[in-house]
């Protein structure tokens, strides 16, 4: 199997996990059942759902950033000829789609803070790949595929162990 095919396969698994985390909050028991009585939309950055008891929830913002770093790396690995802006735009559009789905199905709270954090995570991922390719050149893709495979297997084992 070629390196690009492995990357595509791992990216699809990553997107499946990302969807499970964002839309289903790692719980498939209530698949597509509304979790909220009403739709909620926050258009004020770093306010609303990002604030609990008057304090900004840095942990949730950091987790959003961390969850989207691999997205940026995968985009850059799969679409090497696309510009930084194009890859980031795709990441932001996917993040927006998640927020719209959450709002539409009442399975989460659509929040501008999530969009900003997700976009930042994607941008960090793109830049990490730029740095790694400047160091390792073509070896970067094989090494990252090996790392992504190891992380994916570990994540799958953790999910199975805690279910």
Give the per-residue pLDDT at 44.
Answer: 84
Task: Give Cα 46 to chain centroid, integer Å.
Answer: 19
Residue percentage of the chain with pLDDT more than 90: 64
Instruction: Give yes or no for residue 1 having a pLDDT over 60.
Output: no
12-29 confidence digits (pLDDT tens): 999 999 999 998 887 766
pLDDT of 50 > 80? The answer is: no
What's the pLDDT band for 40 if we cut at 50, 70, 90?
confident
35-39 contact pairs (CB < 8 A, 24+): 35/106, 35/107, 35/108, 36/106, 36/107, 36/108, 36/109, 37/106, 38/106, 39/103, 39/104, 39/106, 39/110
Q: Please report which confidence band the pLDDT of residue 76 belongs to, taking 50, 70 and 90 as the band edges.
A: very high
Q: What is the mean pLDDT of the chain?
A: 89
pLDDT score, position 25: 81
The residue ranges of every structural domain in the chain are: 3-149
pLDDT at residue 139, as a whole number: 94
Question: Quick one: which of 152, 90, 60, 24 has its CA closest to 144?
Answer: 152
Whether pTM exceeds 0.85: yes
pLDDT value of residue 98: 96
């Amino acid at each position: 199997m070629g390196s690009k095919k492995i990357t595509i396969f791992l990216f699809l698994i990553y997107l499946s996990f990302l969807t499970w985390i964002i839309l289903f909050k790692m719980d498939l028991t209530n698949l597509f059942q509304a979790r909220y009585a009403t739709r909620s939309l926050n258009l004020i950055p770093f306010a609303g759902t990002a604030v609990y008891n008057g304090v900004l929830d840095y942990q949730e913002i950091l987790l959003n950033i961390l969850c989207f770093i691999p997205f940026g790396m995968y985009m850059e690995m799969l679409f090497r000829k696309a510009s930084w802006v194009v890859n980031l735009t795709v990441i932001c559009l996917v993040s927006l789609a998640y927020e719209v789905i959450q709002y539409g199905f009442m399975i989460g709270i659509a929040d501008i803070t999530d969009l900003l954090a997700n976009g930042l995570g994607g941008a960090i991922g793109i830049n990490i790949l730029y740095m790694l390719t400047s160091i390792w050149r073509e070896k970067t893709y094989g090494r990252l595929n090996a790392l992504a495979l190891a992380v994916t297997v570990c994540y799958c084992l953790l999910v199975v162990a805690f279910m």
